[in-house]
Structure 1
Amino acid sequence: MMLLRLVPENTKINFMSVRKIAIALSAILLVASIALFAVQSLNYGIDFKGGISVEVQMEDGKAVPIDEVRQVVNDMGYVGASVREFGRQDDAMIRIERQPGDADAQGAVIQRVREELPAAIPGLTFLDGNFISPTVSEELKRDGTLAVTIAVIAVLIYIWFRFEWQFGLGAVVALVHDVLLTVGFFAVTRLEFNLSIIAAILTIIGYSLNDTVVVYDRIRENIRKFRKMPMDELINFSLNQTLSRTLMTSLTTLLALFALFFLGGPAIQGFTAAMIWGIVIGTYSSIFIASPLLLMFNLRREAMIIEDEKDDPTVDKSRPSNPFEQM
Structure 2
Amino acid sequence: MLQILNFKGTVNFLRHAVAISFVSMVLVAGSLGSLVFNGINWGLDFTGGTVVELEFTDPVDLNGFRTKLTAPAAEGAVVQNFGSSRDILVRLPVKAELKSDDQVEAVIKTAKAIDSNVIQKRVEFVGPQVGKELSEQGGLAVLVALICILIYVSFRFEWRLALGSVAALAHDVIVTLGIFSVLQLEFDLTVLAGLLTVVGYSLNDTIVVFDRIRENFLKMRKGSSEDVVNTSITQTMSRTVITTATTLVVVIALFLKGGSMIHGFATALLMGIFVGTFSSIYVASFLAIKLGINREHMLPVEIEKEGADQPSMTP
Q: TM-score range by the shorter chain?
A: 0.7 to 0.9
Q: 1:207 aligns with which of 201, 206, 221?
A: 201
- 2:47 matched to 1:49? yes
The answer to whether the aligner puts 1:40 opposite 2:38 as a matched pair is: yes
The match for 2:262 among 257, 268, 272 is: 268
Q: Distance in 2 between matches of 1:11 and 1:57?
A: 62
**2:90 aligned residue:** 94
Matched, 1:183 2:181: no
Matched residue, 2:242 = 248
CA distance in 1, matches of 2:166, 2:80: 37
**TM-fit CA distance, 1:307:** 8.8
User: What residue in structure 1 maps to residue 102 of structure 2?
Assistant: 108
Q: Which amino acid aligns with 1:249?
A: T
> For 1:177 and 1:272, how far apart are their aligned partners in 2?
19
Does the CA contact (< 8 Å) of 1:170 and 1:293 recur in 2?
yes
Which deviations, in whole Å up to 9, do the C-alpha atoms of 1:122-160 show, x marking residues without a partner? 332111112211111110100100110111111111111
User: TM-score w.r.t. structure 2 length?
Assistant: 0.88
Show the counterpart of 1:82.
Answer: 78
Q: C-alpha separation between the residues in 1 aligned to 2:55 and 2:75? A: 21
In structure 1, stretches of 5+ residues that fail to align are 1-9, 309-327
8 Å Cα contact 1:74/1:81 also seen in 2 = no
Q: Return 5+ residue gaps in structure 2 as ranges.
A: 1-7, 303-315
Residue type matched to 1:128 in 2? R
> Following superposition of structure 1 onto structure 2, how do residues 217-296 of structure 1 map, counting pairs within 5 Å?
217-296=211-290
Could you tell me which residue of structure 1 aligns to residue 12 of structure 2? 14
CA deviation string 1:60-116 (max 9, x = no partner): xx43432333233234552331111112333221011112237xx123322443455
3-state SS of 2:281 partner: helix
Q: Count how many residue pairs are aligned between Structure 1 and Structure 2.
A: 295
Q: Could you give the per-residue CA deviations for residues 146-204 of structure 1, whole angstroms, max 9, x where no partner exists? A: 11011111111111101111121111100000000001110121111111110000000
Once superposed, what is the RMSD of the aligned Cα atoms? 2.0
More displaced stretch, 28-37 vs 292-301: 292-301
Inter-CA distance 186–33: structure 2 relative to 1 (3 Å threshold): same
One-letter amino acid matched to 1:14 = N
Q: Which moved more, 1:212-221 or 1:13-22?
A: 13-22
Aligned residue for 1:74, secondary structure, equals coil
What is the letter of the counterpart of residue 90 of structure 1?
R
Distance 1:230 1:292, change over 3 A: same
SS at match of 2:124: strand
2-structure distance, mates of 1:170, 1:64: 51
User: Runs of 4 or more off by more than 4 Å in structure 1?
Assistant: none
Q: What TM-score, normalized by structure 1, do the two folds share? A: 0.85
Partner of 1:26: 24
- Is the 8 Å Cα contact of residues 78 and 90 (structure 2) preserved in structure 1? yes
Displacement of 1:252: 1.5
Alpha-carbon contact 2:191-2:268 (below 8 Å) kept:
yes
- Partner-residue secondary structure (3-state), 1:299: coil
Shift of 1:52: 1.4
User: Is 1:68 matched with 2:56?
Assistant: no
Structure 1 residue 22, shift from structure 2 partner: 1.4
Q: Which of the pair has more CA radius of gyration? A: 2
* Contact in 2 for aligned 1:155/1:168 (Cα 8 Å): no
Is 1:195–2:193 an aligned residue pair? no
The whole-number CA distance in structure 2 between the counterparts of 1:302 and 1:120 is 74
Matched position secondary structure for 2:215: helix
- Segment drifting more, 211-220 vs 85-94: 85-94
1:158 equivalenced with 2:152 (yes/no): yes
Correspondence for 2:56: 58
Match in the other structure for 2:5: none
Work out the CA distance in 2 between the residues paired with 1:179 and 1:226: 34
SS at match of 2:119: strand
Q: Percent identity?
A: 38
